[in-house]
Structure 1
Amino acid sequence: MFLLLGPSLVALAVLMVAVAVAGPVDDAFVALCVTASFLITLPVSAITGLVDGYLARGLPALLRAFLTAAIGMTGAIGLVLTLFKMTFSPTVPPEVMNGALCAGFFLLLPMGLCSLLSNDDGDRRRPAGCAPDCVGRPA
């Protein structure tokens, strides 16, 4: 769920914003933005999916969705800032920081949505012969 839907939703959002900013004339710029956003979002989505799977054991679905969205946003911001720092300079200008925050906000909603869609609370069933209050012990 996270590896397919998350990056696709981010790429769609970036496509809509890039077309609104650059217009339909500059197709190469729009394609570059969409491809870069998909590739940057892919590892963040994978890590966020693993964290969501771990959190699924003890948290309710709604709380987990908010926490997963925050973790995905933080991961995207950290990845963009790390890539800039490794590529260009050790100091990050405010424009790049604002861009990293925008990248994080683009990932906020898709990660929360992926967490809600991957909820499988209905599939947890008691073992056969187990009383409603037992956990693994026979009735």
Structure 2
Amino acid sequence: MSIPTSTSVSESAVIAAPFSDVWHLIKLQDFSKFWSNLDKSERAKEASGETDIVQWTFKDGTVLDVKQEEHSSIDHFITYSVISSQPALSYTSVVSTIRVYPVTSGEHEGQTFITWSGNFSSDADAGVIADAKFKRREALSDLAKAASAGKK
């Protein structure tokens, strides 16, 4: 019996690094520069000039083709979807968005606030959502380390 669950996840963090140091790292093809779970992230060979598709190869052997759906250097966000996976995913689809904000006042002024959300198809189970939550938390922690190293 499946457990009813929300099919969305959202994680956030305050990163002790300037906005520009964090935003600079938010490019699908550059995720392996900070995310310790990724072995490599590179443009997919079958991508056309019209479509931004990046292949993420995880250290556990999973390979995801992710398609950049939207990118705004004005509003500082990137939205992407997973278009294929080896091995196959247990759910039909997921669309994720990473948003980056400069903290402009208060005790964290000069630092960066970031959110990473994911909206899954209704066939994603509680295990998928929990896994997505922990992967995002780990990636945000890795991003904080990479961005902080960049400011030294």
User: Under a length normalisation based on structure 1, what TM-score does the superposition of the two structures give?
Assistant: 0.41
Structure index of larger Rg: 1
Q: Which structure: greater strand fraction?
A: 2
Structure showing greater relative contact order (alpha-carbon pairs closer than 8 Å, 6 or more residues apart): 2
